[in-house]
Amino acid sequence: MADGSRVNVILPPCSLLGPIMTIRKFSRSLTTIDDLIDHKTLNKQMAAFLIAAIKAKLNIVFCGSTGSGKTTLLNVLSSHIPGHERIITIEDTSELRLMQEHVVSLQAKPGNIEGKGEVTIRDLLSTLCVCDRTALLSVRCAARKFWIWCNPLLPVMPVPWPSCTRIHRRNALTG
């Protein structure tokens, strides 16, 4: 949707009790680190550590289930990326709302009804190997997909190329 909300519809025969619709809306009230601290999402030490990691261009992986705050946290932390940095986002569904000037947003797309024309996150990531090596990269994917597309590319990725990645997991042990 235009405001970034996500709609999901399940229809019969997949839904046995009739149509089901859900709308995921992202918080507009959590926009700063202080907001996250006030809501007890982070404490001051955690916030300082994450901000330092962003400024040091360290790789960060945010892991959690749907609705746990990964995207909100990454949106808030992105405000600490220096303005001169180029940021590249790759998502299967566009969720990030970055306010910096130098943002390149890429989105994977499914194939058409004949199964042609698919562009995967891995396709987009491999294309970026020739881009500006100072870019900060954000990728969103399911945990089971992460190593599938990342492992073969690690030897050819520019170093250092800091990244923030969001991975969907139900829990840390079983996924």
Angle at 132 between CA 150 and CA 125, to 5 degrees: 25
Domains and CATH numbers, the chain: 28-168 (3.40.50.300)
Whether this model's pTM surpasses 0.75? no
Taking only the tens place, the pLDDT of each residue in 113-131 is 898 999 987 788 777 766 6
How many other CB atoms are there within 10 angstroms of residue 22's CB atom?
Answer: 9
Angle at the Cα of 102 (from 98 to 108), degrees rounded to 5?
65
147's tokens: 């190593």
User: How confident is the model over 75-90, as pLDDT tens digits?
Assistant: 888 888 888 888 888 8
Q: Given this model, what pLDDT does residue 59 score?
A: 77
Say which residues have a Cβ less than 8 Å from residue 10's Cβ, sequence separation at least 6. Answer: 19, 20, 21
List the chain residues with pLDDT less than 70. 4, 27, 129-175
